[in-house]
Amino acid sequence: MLSILAQGLLAASVVAVNNGLARTPQMGWNNWNSLGCDVSEALLLDTSRKLVDFGLRDVGYNYVLLDDCWQDGRGDDGYIRVDEQKFPHGLKWVAGQLHDQGLLYGMYSSSGEFTCARYEGSLDHEEEDAKSFASWDVDYLKYDNCYHRGRFGYPEVSFNRYNVMAKALKATKRDILFSLCTWGEDYVHTWGMSIANSWRVSGDIYDHFNRPDALCSCTDAKDPFCVAPGTHCSVMNIINRVAPYVDKGAPGGWNDLDMLEVGIGGMSDAEYVAHFSMWAAIKSPLLIGADLRTLSPEALSILNNPAVIAVSQDPLGKSAALVSRNLTVPKDQYGEGETQIWSGPLYPNDQLVIFLNAANEDLEIITSLDEIFVRHGPGGSAPHTKEKWDLYDLWAKRMDTSVAKKVINSPPGTLNGVKGWYNSTETPYKAGLEAGDERLLGTKVGVAAPGEIKVKVPRHSLKMYRMRSQKGPIKGYTITRDEL
């Protein structure tokens, strides 16, 4: 029996834009976080070969995204021009090279007169630019929000401005994933899914775990009128900002927590593990931001963990949600510190639970099945709370650094180091989960039973478990796709 609350939650389903794309959160690489404007044809081609050679394409990273700074003004004919120094063969040629490797090609513009780096923008030239993108065989458009000539401040104003490009893309008849870079402005989480496949929920991420910065003025989503989302938002800032509306993500349209910082160098290994895990659990797009030409083995072994990617690409497409938050913990020099517990359903009948320690000390985090399953029924009323659950650690089978080193150093064009690694091109995640592939399941490390559940978590890290009922699916309570 469903509780009334659970029925209400399940009925409140989200209808996403119906272009058939992003049925699971998109994955790929984008140059901005590590390279900014330093873009070129060679960069995209070198990166595409690394994606293939490192086995990253074959755990799901299939979009190669060119960010800002490719433009060279606009011609008298109204069409945007490409910088021929940076892209001597043109962008259609680049797209062809990527497609030949089984990859997809994406690029960037702004819904403004200029882009954020002050190149030519697409505002009031949407139709010409959409035609150009389609003629270059583009598969993905990241669409920014700079220099919009004041056309924002009320949801419908932003909606209408972005909808012009959505319609222009649709009119090209090419399948182009549409990704809004709207920084959470004008309640984009309430309208983004009607016209786009993902929408940014915050100011730009920067390479810090929880350091507050004056340039990121919006601290949480309780301030919907925050007008300066900013450019220096930490991992914890973004997580807390999206927490109240994680449920807006659904197959076809996702909350975008911004591109990954993993491997760029500002955070510890454990902080990067936490960053990556939370992005996967909240169903954000997973876009590698590091320069793959200089990727460390440690970063590779975070990015290529199939047990965690299987959470991101889970067929149910349900974000984990924050079920408890403890602010009464040791703080750091910025006055920051908290612990959080996140939980959510996983295909086929599993449950994800995350113990996140963002406090300034190693801590024991305590919870119970009542808390983990609070959204299945409050106050311990869900049948799930009476069962025993095996806990599978999703980081236990992380690739050894020595193996990752071998992968990175293998001669170009060989796939030596990754033999036996999970291959989602061969076996999509859904099929792997249905077959009970142990590489996706993680390693059984314990049991969660009624009563207190205590987990030790080091400072600035997390524990992430797939829970599986020892008795099998809970009777009378099956989450099906229709109910979502």
Say whether residue 329 binds ligand NAG (CB under 6 A).
yes
Check: CB of residue 362 under 8 Å from CB of residue 355.
no
Stretch that binds ligand NAG, among 15-23, 303-311, 325-333, 446-454 (CB under 6 A): 325-333
Helices 235-242 & 269-281, crossing angle to 10 degrees? 20
Q: How far is the CB of 28 from ligand NAG (least distance, A)?
A: 16
| Residue count, binding to ligand NAG (CB under 6 A) | 12
Q: Is residue 484 involved in binding ligand NAG (CB under 6 A)?
A: no
Determine, following the binding rule CB under 6 A, whether residue 326 of this chain makes contact with ligand NAG: yes
Side chain identity at 244, as an amino acid letter?
Answer: P
Phi, psi for 289 (deg, rounded to 5): -105, -10
Compute the radius of gyration of the chain from its Cα atoms.
22
Asked if 85 interacts with ligand NAG (CB under 6 A), we say no
Which of the ranges 89-97, 252-260, 324-332, 453-461 carries the binding residues for ligand NAG, by CB under 6 A? Answer: 324-332
> Is residue 414 at the binding interface for ligand NAG, with CB under 6 A as the rule?
no
Of 19, 197, 240, 423, the residue at the interface with ligand NAG (CB under 6 A) is 423
- The catalytic residues are 144, 204
Q: Which of 77, 426, 452, 482 binds ligand NAG (CB under 6 A)?
A: 426
User: What Å distances lie between residue 243 and 73, 113, 183, 247, 428, CA to CA?
Assistant: 40, 33, 15, 9, 29
Helix, strand, coil share of the chain (percent; to 5): 30, 20, 50
Residue 3's CB is within 10 A of a number of other CB atoms, namely: 16
Residue 326 Ramachandran class (φ > 0 left, ψ -120 to 50 alpha, else beta): beta
Q: How far is the CB of 454 from ligand NAG (least distance, A)?
A: 11
Measuring CA to CA, how many Å separate 37 from each of 44, 287, 295? 13, 17, 19
Supply the minimum distance, in Å, between the C-beta of residue 276 and ligand NAG.
20
As a three-state string, the secondary structure of 142-154 is: EEECCCCCCCCCC
Among 93-101, 284-292, 295-303, 419-427, the segment contacting ligand NAG (CB under 6 A)? 419-427
Q: Is 328 in the site for ligand NAG (CB under 6 A)?
A: yes
CB-CB neighbours of 341 under 10 Å: 24
Nearer to ligand NAG, 71 or 305 (CB): 305
- Which residue from 420, 458, 454 is spatially nearest to 439, judged by alpha carbons? 420
CB of 184 to ligand NAG, least distance (A): 29
Tokens standing for 118? 């002050």
Where does this chain touch ligand NAG (CB under 6 A) — which range of 4-12, 308-316, 417-425, 436-444?
417-425
Distance CA 327, CA 240 (A): 12
The SS3 assignment for 1 reads coil
Of the candidate residues 425, 443, 470, 478, the single one contacting ligand NAG (CB under 6 A): 425
368 in contact with ligand NAG (CB under 6 A): no
Q: Closest CB to ligand NAG among 217 and 324?
A: 324
The amino acid at residue 125 is: H
Contacts with ligand NAG in 30-59 (CB under 6 A)? 55, 58
Nearest alpha-carbon partner for 400 in 302, 258, 288 = 302
- Of positions 134, 415, 449, 484, contacts ligand NAG by CB under 6 A: 415
Q: Which one, 292 or 418, has the nearer CB to ligand NAG?
A: 418
Which residues of the chain form contacts with ligand NAG (CB under 6 A)? 55, 58, 326, 328-329, 363, 366, 415, 418, 423, 425-426
